Structure 1
Amino acid sequence: MAQIYISLGSNIEREYYVKAGLLSLAQAFELPFEALTLSSLFESESVGFTGDAFYNMVIGITCPHSIEQVVTMLRDIETSHGRDHTAKKFSPRGLDLDLLLYDDLIINQPAQLPRDEITKNAFVLWPLSQVAPNLVHPILKKSYQDLWQDYNKRSQQLSIVESCW
């Protein structure tokens, strides 16, 4: 069984897509909703483009699937919720699912792991530090709690919002 962490983001119909994304993850991984480890739900300004604010969170899942299967499952969930994978990288989206960690793998294909944005974006690092505070980044050799503690919190503003599920 692998321990994986997934970031979920939405800035179009945010409440709808957060709920739909969480339910789709539970269904795809054949888990009861309660088996998902959920961070708080955060609101953040869009990064890399001008657009509506995002809702973001991180989900932890223990699963028997290979990394290739997980990457395919996440892409299929996005597609089933209208995600256009030909759209430019920094653009509005209903549902964005990114694999952040798969155990302690360090790879570039079929996904970059650990995902580079973990240490660059508060909307990924803060929720990850909530669900896996003592887990150690496989390259930096620091816990996510310590990485969040050291993060320049003035660089990106986040606020916790009330859960919509």
Structure 2
Amino acid sequence: MAKIFISLGSNIDPERHLKAAVIDLEAHFGELVLSSVFESEAVGFDGTNFLNMVVAAETELSIAEVVSTFKQIEQDHGRVKGAKKFAPRTLDLDLLLLDDTICNHPIELPRAEILYNAFVLWPLAEIAPSLCHPVVNQSYQALWNAYDKTSQTLWPVEFNWSK
């Protein structure tokens, strides 16, 4: 079984979509480890704030199968296939890591945004602080400690997981 880390984000009815995504991910991958939920300003475009988190799971699926599963979950929750990258979205699921895999195909792993987006790095450091980034060989906690926290606005929020 491979350990995967998944970034979740939404800025269209985000509470509903994050809850639904966690339910769907649990149905596909079993037990999950959830970070706190963080609110952040939109990055790359003007838009409403996002809710973001990182989830860990285990899988025997290939990278392509995992990504396909994520795309289906996104589409099931109203994400428009082929929509522009920097725009509001119901749900965004990104595979950040699959064990220590380093690759560029079928997707880039580890995902580059781990190192430059606070909304990915902080929740990842929260649930996997001692795990090391396979390229830069530093723990996620060390990377978060060194991160320029003035570069992006981000804060943890209370999140009610009950339906």
TM-score (norm 2): 0.97
**Greater displacement, 37-46 / 68-77:** 68-77
User: What amino acid does structure 1 have at the position aligned with 2:86?
Assistant: F
State how 1:97-116 maps to structure 2 within 5 Å. 97-116=93-112
Q: Could you say which residue in structure 1 is the equivalent of 2:63?
A: 67
Q: Does 1:146 align with 2:145?
A: no
Separation in structure 2 between the aligned mates of residue 114 and residue 91 of structure 1, nearest angstrom: 23
**SS of equivalent to 2:115:** helix
3-state DSSP of counterpart to 1:101: strand
Runs of 4+ with deviation above 2 angstroms: none
Q: Deviations over 1:107-154 (max 9, x none)?
A: 111111000000110000000001110110000000000000000001
CA contact 1:101–1:113 (8 Å) conserved in 2: yes
C-alpha distance in structure 1 between counterparts of 2:75 and 2:12, whole Å: 15
Alignment match, 2:11: 11
Unpaired runs of 5+ residues, structure 2, are none
The residue number in structure 1 matching 2:22 is 22
Shift of 1:164: 2.7
| Paired residue type of 2:144 | W
How far the C-alpha of 1:67 sits from its partner, in A, is 1.3
SS of match in other structure, 1:19: helix
Over the residues paired in the alignment, what is the CA RMSD in angstroms? 0.7
Q: Distance in 1 between matches of 2:157 and 2:81?
A: 28
Show CA shifts across 1:25-59 (max 9, x none). 01122x2xxx2100000000000000000000000
- Count of aligned pairs: 161
Instruction: State the identity %.
Output: 55
Q: Does 2:35 align with 1:39? A: yes
Q: CA deviation at 1:163?
A: 1.7
- Structure 1, unaligned stretches of length 5 or more? none
Distance 2:104 2:55 in 1: 21
Measure, in 1, the Cα distance between the counterparts of 2:67 and 2:138. 25
Report if aligned partners of 1:19, 1:164 keep a CA contact under 8 Å in 2.
Answer: no
Is 2:151 the counterpart of 1:155?
Answer: yes
- After TM superposition, the structure 1 stretch with the greater mean CA deviation from structure 2, 134-143 or 60-69, is 60-69
Letter in 1 for 2:141: Q
**Residue 85 (structure 1) shift:** 2.2
